Chain A
Amino acid sequence: MARGSRFTVAAPLLLLLAACGSDVGEAPTSPPCDDECRDRVALRAVREMTKLAYNLLLQGNPVGMQAEAAPCPLGGAVVIFGEASSNAEQGATVVDLSYGFDGCTHLEVDDEPDETYRMTLTGFMTQQGTLAAQPSATTALVMQSPSMTMSGTVYDPPLAYGEDGCTLELGQNGNDLSGLMCGREVGVDLGGPPN
């Protein structure tokens, strides 16, 4: 895979010179984040928390029926049950899973303001479709929840976010995640390589 095969490990002096071209003098400031922006960050949080739960509980498990539970990193718990199969050569996993969040809290801090959040989820959500083992591969997912409670902060600097009993009807095609969240249309490009 071509990866932009060259990069420079700059010496301190050259680093200094190179740095002259970037924003000078002050810490970065974030553009304003409106309601739509907040929803986008919250949507990302929901998706990434299901991903985290899946990866902590199921990845590496034998294919077949699944039923796992674990505490979340910053409190609360999550359960996952359902069925999953995989194709290791194609790097794909086909899932039909249900997620149950009970005050499950996760913090994500990133240098990108709209990828920073602290979110607590409570509720059930189903997930059906294909997960990819590589971000560039095919992902086709449908995720639904009849009632999901979301609370916490989104964005950097943090903005309060809270929704009770929110319905989710979401679809992910590749890096594009979109759908209805609390009746509002929302979409986000998850893009970029994984951390």
Chain B
Amino acid sequence: MRRRARRLTLAFASAASLLVESLSDRAVARAEPEASAPPPAQTVLPPKLRSAPDVPYPEGARGDARVVLTIEVRADGTVRSATPAEPNEPFSSHASRAAQDFVFEPATRGGRPVAAKIRFELRFTEPAPPEPAEDPPTTDGAVAASPSDGAAGSPGAPATKADSKEPIEVIVTGVRPELSRTASLTRAEVREIPGTFGDPFRAVEALPGVTPIVSGLPFFFVRGAPPGNVGYFLDGVRVPLLFHVGAGPSVVNPALIDRVDFYPAGYPARFGRFAGGVVAGETLPPVPELHGEYNVRVFDAGAMVEAPFLDGEGTAMLGGRYSYTGFLLTALSSTTKLDYWDYQGRVSYELGPRDRVELFSFGSYDYVGERTPTEDLTLFGTEFHRLDLRYDHRFVGRGKLRSAFTLGLDRSRVQQQDRKVRARLAGARNELEYRLSDTALFRAGTDLTLETYDIELGANDLAPSAARIAESYPSRTDTTLGLRGDFVLRVTPRFDVTPGVRVDLYGSDGATALAVDPRVSWRAQASKRAAVLGLFGVAHQPPSFVVPLPGFQPGGLPGGLQRALQGSLGIELELGGGMTATATVFQNAFFSMSDPLGSSAPLPMGCQPGTYPGDSIGGDLGEQPDEPTPCGERFPPGTLGPDRSGGGGQAADSRGGRRVGEAFEVRTLGSGRGIELFFKRRLTERLGGFASYTFSRSTRSYERRSYPAAFDRTHVANAAVAYDLGRGFRAGLRGMFYTGVPKAPDPTDPESTRLPAFFRLDARFEKRFRLSPRSHLSLVAEWMNATLSEEAITTTCTLSGCEAEMIGPVTIPSVGVEGAF
């Protein structure tokens, strides 16, 4: 059967220049009986590829690419390491990872198998769109070369071709593994997006379906779901805080990130316990070769370096970032204290040809404080640490199994030392991926997590509304058990489907809840250039805090689990010339939603025009006939009000405080629906860019009232363009526009229902110096919000009228040096 429709094409010219270096020369020499005599000439035969590689064309990539790998082949024919000769993302990382599963006939010296190092070239050819009219069930040359029947894996084929230096073409049956992924951002592409500072996690804000809270603040709504319902993962480990204080960078050094996948809905069963969306980062695989990256910017510096040990059997990586903004601020200012840093470390060791053990650690620290003559007052401080011990087993050509054990520590402090949260975590997980056939991949996993919370919020001197919130955060131990599985199936050459389910059992402070989340996503190739994609999923989540913060997880499952029903239908078009476009219609429904940010109907700050604060003199309204009226009750009638008569608050409640307290307790119904458009040309092309647009409506319903969510934005648009000016110069621009949030009723402007829209322009300019084939140095100037745009966040009213309250400009100019070796 001809399988062109859904296959991705990989052409590789194997061993275009084949250099065999015996890695066991000394051992062989010792085996020689007469050391003084010249060794007899021994025939050295290079390794030959035995099993054809199953290398799908990289997700999100465009165009053709050539990757030269240096592959160390063990004496048993398995791959010890695969190192790209030079970076060409996403192809080089993709090729390096895939090559781990190659199997060779080992090199031989004098007929004995020996370890060897070869140069191996892979050529990625952008998959040609399928031809719908043709689908003959006959076998042709391409199929004969497919790995499933072993023809392409016939020993010697690559080596033979190496001599001729002509690539042979192999059709590989790479099923698209993640159908629900909206986008996969590689480091190389993100580097070109102005305003992200090369940070793949920050680039998520530019994707369709993402609605920012405030420009530059890296918390966002996803298809109507609030920031607290969006989960962040790194290598499958949940990350409790993804971004440093304020508009800071992500807590993971970008140099360590291979790619970031964004799942706005119907995510793979691997991801759960979040009802709004998943942002998943994957780290680069260990590379047994000295390499690294570094950057020095105006506000921070970071570096990552990895080196082999024990003759390449193991690798050690160390990375991190330190913001000297805090140091300088502390040195310059008498009162402000600001600090943040993060670290990453990884040690991996090859136990054998198919087994690897790895210890991965990462963490971050943030502190904002105020200095007094005798001590530092903590305004906000948080830190987290994760230690993940993994054992990986590869089923060569079939899949992999990972067993991992995770330890974690989260700590947060708010306002003075007596309000603090500490969470200790221990978890274990197993992850299996097994290819049942060329058209079926099975994935399954289990995980168990124990989290012990020690919480001191000083509830005995909190205002009543704050004390009620604090009651939702008791000290306790939470237990979560998860089981999941899905199949990635190619039903026909034109139809892929991924059905799956995950089951989670939650236990917290005596309460338990069971969640069953079925999910299915599919893709049908409708024509040569068009595919239709759809998904439906159920997602559950325990009650959540406003935004993800270490240790801030409500206990006792108050109000039960949040539940989301997620569905979408879309079209993907291949436009040619490396361009793609997608259009997606989505509909999400949320039940029992905890969304303190979005659940409150918009209310003006202050009093409506024509009214006056009840605790002040009303004022002379001139010729207006009506008597001015007080603008509202300061506390519930018939009760005693708070004492706020001068000085500090001292546990006094307020209208605002009560409103916040109620927002934390309210569980609402919600919905998000809309259309997403995405156009992209790979940013690493000479002229690349993307445009994303989301037209959506997000609502909340509470007590039979339905209203737009507080951060509903009708239109959100992003557009970026990057151009290679030649001679190492590259420039980029990015524009961002979105509608203002819903506005409280304004009698002075009844036609206006929303705050003013926002637009900002980001710019990036780079000059790259190529120092060697594997190293470069770049001078980078980047400016987020170069237009110095301010943003309206609420409406403030006085007796005479209402006006938008502006913040900003939130702007980050940066000049720095980046490099890699």
Contact = CB atoms under 8 A, between A and B. Distances in A.
Given A11-B813, A16-B325, A172 B641 contact: no
A14 B811 contact: yes
A9 B808 contact: yes
A1 B812 contact: no
A1 B605 contact: yes
Interface stretch (A17-25, A118-126, A163-171, A179-187): A17-25
B652 interface: yes
A70 B460 CA distance: 9
Contacts of A91: 613-615, 634-635, 641
Interface stretch (B7-15, B326-334, B552-560, B713-721): B326-334
The DSSP consensus for interface residues of chain A is loop
Contacts of A67: none
Interface string A51-65: 110111011111100
A194 B652 contact: yes
Contacts of B615: 90-92, 132-134, 136-138
Interface stretch (B268-276, B500-508, B642-650): B642-650
A172 B643 CA distance: 13
A1 B651 contact: no
A120 to B, nearest CB: 15
Interface residues of A, number: 82
Interface in A139-164: 139, 141, 156-158
A30 B373 contact: yes
A113 B461 CA distance: 21
A44 interface: yes
Given A133-B615, A157-B374, A12 B299 contact: yes
B665 to A, nearest CB: 16
A133 B634 contact: yes
A191 B645 CA distance: 9
Given A19-B336, A60-B639, A73-B458, A7 B796 contact: no
B645 A132 contact: yes
Contacts of B806: 5-6
A132 B373 CA distance: 33
Nearest to A59: B642
Contact of B646 (A55, A108, A172): A172
Contacts of B216: 9
A1 B795 CA distance: 11
B622 interface: no
Interface string A10-53: 01111110011011111111100000000000001001110110
Contacts of B336: 19
A9 B246 contact: yes
B639 A156 contact: no
A135 B372 contact: no
Given A84-B640, A134-B615, A194-B648, A28 B335 contact: yes
Contacts of A44: 647
B647 A47 contact: yes
Contact of A63 (B416, B607, B639, B798): B639
Contacts of B167: none
A116 to B, nearest CB: 7
Given A22-B333, A111-B371, 4 more contacts: A28-B334, A48-B648, A60-B653, A84-B640
Q: When A and B form their complex, which 10 residue pairs have the shortest distance between CB atoms, in order from nearest?
A: A190-B646, A91-B615, A137-B615, A194-B649, A91-B634, A23-B334, A139-B645, A190-B647, A12-B299, A175-B646
9 contacts: A11-B813, A16-B329, A28-B334, A47-B647, A111-B372, A134-B616, A137-B615, A138-B615, A190-B645
